[in-house]
Amino acid sequence: MDLVIAAPALVTAPVEGGGAFPVRRIYCVGRNYADHAREMGADPTREAPFFFSKPRDALAPGGASPYPPATRDLHHEVELVLARGRGGSDLTPDDAAAGIWGAAVGIDFTRRDLQAEAKAKGRPWDTAKGFDASAPIGLIRPGPAPQSGAITLSVNGEVRQSGDLSDMIWSSAEILSHLSALFELAPGDLVFTGTPAGVGAVSIGDTLDACAGDLPGLKVTIAPRA
Ligand code: MN
C-alpha cells in the first residue's frame, strides 16, 4: 500500500524499567471523587460514571508543557491512569481488573473557561479537554493499579489537591467494566480515573508535582506557547 501522506507518528508512553507502551485511545472519567463532584456543583451520590476522551496524541511526557491557546483558565486535575494490556467488551469488574497492564499518575489539563461555556450551551467538551499536550503522564509501572494511597498535586511546592485513591466513587475495576459496556476495549487504551477536590488555575512558570500512591511521580512546568 502506498501511503499518500506521511503516516502519523506512533504515540508511546515510557515504562518504568524501560520500554514503551503503545497508546491506542485515551478515555477519561468525569467526577469520580465526591469532594470534587461537590466543588463542581454536582451531586456525587446519584451519578453512574460518565466518560469523555482525548485524542491519543494529546499524550505528553513530563517536563516543559506549553500553555495552550484560547484559554485564560487552564486547570490541573491529578489522576490515576490505567494502562490496558487486554481488550474486551462487557467485562465483569474482575475480568476488567485482570486486563490492567500497568498504572501511572497523570494530569487531565482542562481549559475550564471553555468547559463552563460548553456546559452552559450543552455543547461537547472536546475543546475544553482534548487540546494538544493536555494529557501528560509519568512512567507507567507494570502490575495492578494501586487501590489506596495518597493522590496529590502541588503547585510551586504548595499542596493544591490531596485525596486518597480509596476515595474514588467507582473503583478502577468498576470504571473499566462500565467503559467496556460502551466501547470494545483494546490493548493500548489508557483510562484517566478522575480527580479529587482542589482543582485550580496554573500560570506560565508554575511547576506542578503530581503523585498517586508510590507510582513514579510526574513533574510539569508550564511554559510559554511555542
Ligand atoms: Mn478529569
Q: Cα–Cα distance between 221 and 63 in angstroms, integer?
A: 6
Residue 122 has pLDDT above 70, yes or no: yes
Residue 29 Cα to ligand 1 middle (Å): 6
C-alpha cell of residue 112: 475550564
Whether the CB-CB separation of 159 and 200 falls below 8 Å is answered with: no
pLDDT tens for each residue of 36-89:
888 988 888 767 899 999 999 999 999 999 999 999 999 999 999 999 999 999
Residue 38 included in any domain: yes
Residue 151 Cα to ligand 1 middle (Å): 13
Residue 94 Cα to ligand 1 middle (Å): 24
Say if pTM beats, i.e. exceeds, 0.85: yes
Residue 28 included in any domain: yes
Residue 116 has pLDDT above 90, yes or no: yes
Residue 3 included in any domain: no
User: Of 65, 58, 63, nearest to 81 (Cα)?
Assistant: 58
Residue 120 Cα to ligand 1 middle (Å): 18
Residue 109 Cα to ligand 1 middle (Å): 8
User: Of 25, 31, 26, nearest to 119 (Cα)?
Assistant: 31
Angle at 156 between CA 72 and CA 211, to 5 degrees: 100
Q: Cα–Cα distance between 196 and 86 in angstroms, integer?
A: 28
Question: Strand, helix or coil at 151?
Answer: strand
Residue 106 Cα to ligand 1 middle (Å): 10
Instruction: For 7-27, give one letter per residue: b (16+ CB within 10 A) or e.
Output: eeeebebbbeeeeebebebbb
Residue 226 has pLDDT above 80, yes or no: no
Residue 27 Cα to ligand 1 middle (Å): 10
Give residue 135's pLDDT band: very low, low, confident or very high (50, 70, 90): very high
Q: Cα–Cα distance between 108 and 167 in angstroms, integer?
A: 18
AA letter at 108: D
Residue 2 included in any domain: no
Q: Please give the tally of structural domains in the chain.
A: 1
Where helices occur in the chain by DSSP H, the ranges are: 34-39, 93-98, 112-121, 126-129, 172-182
Residue 189 included in any domain: yes
Domain of residue 29, CATH code: 3.90.850.10
Residue 106 included in any domain: yes
Residue 5 included in any domain: no
Please give the torsion angle defined by the CA atoms of residues 41, 44, 45 and 51, in that order, rounded to the nearest 10 degrees: 110
Residue 2 Cα to ligand 1 middle (Å): 39
Query: Which residue in the block uniquely carries the three cell numbers 482542562?
Result: 110
Q: Cα–Cα distance between 171 and 146 in angstroms, integer?
A: 10
Residue 196 Cα to ligand 1 middle (Å): 9
C-alpha cell of residue 130: 482534548
Residue 1 Cα to ligand 1 middle (Å): 39
pLDDT tens for each residue of 202-214:
999 999 999 999 9
Q: What residue numbers bound the domain in which 107 lies?
A: 12-223
